[in-house]
Amino acid sequence: MRIAVKWDEAIVDSDGHVAGHEAGDTLVRRILRIFPNSILVGAGLRRCEGFDVVPLEFLDPADTVVINMDVIDSPRVWVKMYEEGGPEPKIMNFLWWPTQRITSEVGISLMALSCAVFPTFANSERTATEVRELVEKWTVQHLSQRSKLGWVNLGFRLAHVKERVETELPIVLYPAIYLSSRKRPELFAEVIEWVHKQTPIKVEMRLHESHLVSEKAMRFSRKDWIWVGPLTATRTDYWAALARTTVFLATADEESYGIAYVEALGAGVIGIFPDMEWARALVPPNYPYFYRSPAEAEHMLLRAVKEPDRCRAEMDACADGSLSKWIEQHHSDDVFDSSLRSHVAKWFGTISSS
């Protein structure tokens, strides 16, 4: 059997690689790497670098496991693949975004039903817990008792981290690519405005193109000490940018996991978080930089830009001497790879690599 990854937003560039730097793009690339000779579901037939692009209707249900990154769409995929009869399609959900993104009763019901009838792999223990609660609440007992659920933290490779680079002014990062209300950009603006009045700083915001041209982005960009621009062109540029970043200020009220925060912490960026469950799940229990009010965030950020070395020392102290090593151990890319392979094998059997 072969793995087919379905994510309708995936874009393949002219060189045959999955382009983009959003979490979904990164996950697609990672799954294709974990399962050599995989398929990316898309329009037209195309041979790419290490994988094939194949339309959904051309997939053979007897020979393919579809990993669907849009769980609500899995019932439709099953119907589409089963229309011609033959063996029952093999579909696995990959839930990598917050379940709270879906707010309508119809959407919640569809998500719960999909996770009940198809094996579901979540990007964190927190997301898996939410899935389990949804299935139990929104489906019948017969389905909830038979549901299959697995999870693992996405993780990253410490080898990607580059040596830190000193900058003339401390750089504060907006650690998100969207300005949606869930990210609370207004809180971010409030805090950095106060800090900027106390000491010179530079703020960098790398946004998805859909938000780059928004009115909110324009308001930020009018200030000469705030740089608003597109996402980094390559992953090498991404890690180089983190190497010169002093601190990030997280303001989101909900995250399913938070790979961008984990990567930044691993790269030595000081992380200031809201005191919320999703954030505490990312770091050691006695991590020092959680705020409960805008005033606390302001003073933490001010200290971070004025005393970055001391703040990093405190971060390391909470992790037995090295926060980067702690991140590597608790958010391991290798553990993710192994867990995903083992769950696919447990649910569907051996996957071919040729």
Per-residue pLDDT at 24:
84
Tell me which residue of 260, 254, 259 sits closest to 336, measured CA to CA.
Answer: 259
* Sole residue written with tokens 């045959």: 16
Give the burial string for 290-328 (b: 16+ CB within 10 Å, else e): bbeeeebbbbbbbbbbeebeebbebbbebbeeebbebbb
Nearest-angstrom CA–CA distance, 69 and 71: 6
With cut-offs at 50, 70 and 90, classify the pLDDT of residue 318.
very high
* CA distances in angstroms from 106 to 72, 93, 119, 134, 138, listed in the order given: 10, 18, 21, 13, 11
Q: Which pLDDT tens digit goes with each residue over 177-201? A: 899 999 999 999 999 999 999 999 9
Q: Which pLDDT tens digit goes with each residue over 240-255? A: 999 999 999 999 998 8
* CA distances in angstroms from 120 to 111, 115, 235, 240, listed in the order given: 11, 6, 28, 35
Nearest-angstrom CA–CA distance, 244 and 236: 13
What is the average pLDDT value for the chain, to the nearest integer? Answer: 92
Helix axes 294-306, 308-317, angle to 10 degrees: 110
Record the tokens describing residue 73, joined without a space: 């769409």
Asked whether the beta carbons of 1 and 348 are under 8 A apart, the reply is yes
* CA distances in angstroms from 271 to 104, 121, 239, 291, listed in the order given: 33, 28, 16, 11
Q: Residue 175 phi/psi, 5° resolution? A: -85, 45
Nearest-angstrom CA–CA distance, 241 and 233: 11
* CA distances in angstroms from 353 to 2, 61, 112, 305, 346, listed in the order given: 7, 17, 32, 49, 17
* Sole residue written with tokens 């389905």: 143
Per-residue pLDDT at 153:
84
Q: Which pLDDT tens digit goes with each residue over 137-152? A: 999 999 999 999 999 8
